[in-house]
Chains A and B, each alone.
Chain A
């Protein structure tokens, strides 16, 4: 069975500061990992994915994620947070269909 864990229900960061949203995974075989963002009353929007290759993946809206095989982690990062980044973030692993983490609410304070 495959799973992802997001250990933080909420992350608070000040605008302009770097942000990290944590994700760890458990899969058999090669992990195919995704980050999605959900704004209030909206669907999920794709941010980035790791399939193979470079451990640092760049995505939409200035987000990036670092794949670490030894720590089985895929943390989402952004060098400088914006208030508009405030949303619910989901890490997911795919094997045919997506298995999502529980989500992390990011709150960026002005």
Chain B
């Protein structure tokens, strides 16, 4: 299995631009998670899906952030408009069962907003 795939690996954009991050979970996994890693806040959950349905988006910073999972093999995290404080590494992870099963992480997308 190829593992969790994320694209792009690096993204540099200017403030005010729209950014879309993409994730392909491991085939057969039914839970998908988006995390963000920053020096100040460490690793924090943004949102997670179970069977393509958003379950908890309480970690999404504000309305500029949105996430979708149109099918079991694809999810997007969109930031519009982007701001410099959104600069971080964004990780996608997937698992079979959200409660106790191991989550497997993608390589992350390093976002820089100038």
Residues of A within 8 A of B (CB): 32, 34, 36, 41-46, 49, 51, 90, 94-103
Closest chain-B Cβ to A78's Cβ sits at a distance in Å of: 20
A43 engages B107 (CB within 8 Å): yes
Find chain A residues with CB under 8 A from B99 CB: 32, 94-96
Q: Which 4 A-B pairs have the closest CB atoms?
A: A43-B105, A100-B43, A44-B105, A97-B45
Contact B48 A97 (CB under 8 A): yes
Additional A-B contacts beyond A94-B99, A95-B99 (9; CB < 8 A)? A32-B99, A42-B107, A43-B91, A43-B106, A96-B48, A96-B99, A98-B45, A103-B42, A103-B43
Q: By the criterion CB–CB under 8 Å, are A102 and B100 in contact? A: no
Main secondary structure of the interface of B (DSSP, over half): strand
The residues of A that contact B68 with a CB separation of less than 8 Å are none
- The docked-state distance in angstroms from the alpha carbon of A43 to that of B90 is 10
By a CB distance below 8 angstroms, the chain B residues around A95 are: 99
CB nearest to A100 among chain B residues: B43
Interface centre among B55, B56, B105 (most CB of A within 10 A): B105
Answer yes or no: B103 CB below 8 A from chain A CBs. yes
B42 touches A45 (CB 8 A): no
For this complex, 30 residue pairs linking A to B, each with C-beta atoms less than 8 Å apart, are A32-B99, A36-B105, A41-B110, A42-B107, A43-B4, A43-B91, A43-B105, A44-B43, A44-B91, A44-B93, A45-B105, A49-B102, A51-B100, A90-B43, A94-B100, A95-B99, A96-B56, A97-B33, A97-B45, A97-B48, A97-B98, A98-B45, A98-B93, A98-B103, A100-B42, A100-B43, A100-B44, A101-B42, A102-B42, A103-B43
